[in-house]
């Protein structure tokens, strides 16, 4: 694909990302330019499963796929590719997400997104050296979430914005037979989020992320 020379709209970037099963998960203005955050769309898992990275038997499949695809996209769109991995130092994806007006800290402490809920993840970003018109910020879904089920879903009460994340309790639970529910289907607290449920992420994708998390 030939590189573009004209300035792009957010809609242009979203259409290009969609070809590679990525979605624009937010964007922000910074230092006179625009950072556009990219995350998996609902077509991501089938595409990833058939990729060279998943089939070659080597580690870091998702990161290697992201590096290849986002770098190619950046080249086509005259942008700089950015990634949440590869550090230290690490780029401020968490801050970018919250500054985008589409992600917030949830009551459980984890990042929550307006359309992906607690299943939000970022595979990369594109930095453009010009200002792209962005939509107005939206409101966190947690403000209208009845009962906030994410707060009571964790069997070992490992999640809290006030007390922080109890990593040891979480890891210990995942080593038990009961913890295989989280290992095979994804974190119970993330699944309890009503927005996460509407996002409908494939359980096999969640299981891959849980295996990667449990190794750390």
Q: What is the pLDDT of residue 3?
A: 57
Q: Which residue, 91, 110, 124, 132, is CA-closest to 25? A: 124
Token couple for 4: 């573009």
| Segments of the chain with pLDDT less than 70 | 1-5, 216
Helix (H) or strand (E) holding 22: strand 22-30
List, for residues 64-106, the tens digit of each pLDDT value.
999 999 999 999 999 999 999 999 999 999 999 999 999 999 9
Q: What is the pLDDT of residue 4?
A: 60
Q: What is the pLDDT of residue 174?
A: 93
Q: Please state the domain extents for the chain.
A: 10-215
Q: Do 29 and 129 form a contact (C-beta atoms < 8 A)?
A: no
Q: What is the pLDDT of residue 213?
A: 81
Q: What is the pLDDT of residue 90?
A: 97
Neighbours of 2 (CB within 10 A): 6
List, for residues 122-142, the tens digit of each pLDDT value.
999 999 999 999 999 999 999
Q: What is the pLDDT of residue 57?
A: 86
Q: What is the pLDDT of residue 163?
A: 78
Beta bridge partners, 38, equal 24, 124
Q: What is the pLDDT of residue 216?
A: 66
Q: What is the pLDDT of residue 49?
A: 92
Buried b (16+ CB within 10 A) or exposed e, 12-25: ebbebbeebbbbbb
Reported residue count of the chain is 216
């Amino acid at each position: 694909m030939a590189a573009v020379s004209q300035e792009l709209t957010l809609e242009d970037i979203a259409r290009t990302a969609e070809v590679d099963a990525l979605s624009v998960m937010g964007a922000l203005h910074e230092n006179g330019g625009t950072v556009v955050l990219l995350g998996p769309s609902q077509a991501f898992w089938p595409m990833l499963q058939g990729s060279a990275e998943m089939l070659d038997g080597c580690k870091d499949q998702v990161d290697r796929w992201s590096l290849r695809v986002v770098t190619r996209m950046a080249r086509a769109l005259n942008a700089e590719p950015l990634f949440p991995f590869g550090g230290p130092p690490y780029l401020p994806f968490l801050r970018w997400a919250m500054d985008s007006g589409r992600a917030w800290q949830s009551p459980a402490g984890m990042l929550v997104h307006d359309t992906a809920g607690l299943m939000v993840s970022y595979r990369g970003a594109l930095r453009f050296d010009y200002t792209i018109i962005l939509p107005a910020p939206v409101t966190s879904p947690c403000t209208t979430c009845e009962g906030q089920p994410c707060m009571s879903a964790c069997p070992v009460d490992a999640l809290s914005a006030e007390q922080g994340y109890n990593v040891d309790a979480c890891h210990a639970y995942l080593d038990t037979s009961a913890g295989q529910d989280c290992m095979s289907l994804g974190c119970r607290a993330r699944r309890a989020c009503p927005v996460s449920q509407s996002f409908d992420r494939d359980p096999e994708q969640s299981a891959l992320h849980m295996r990667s998390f449990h190794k750390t």
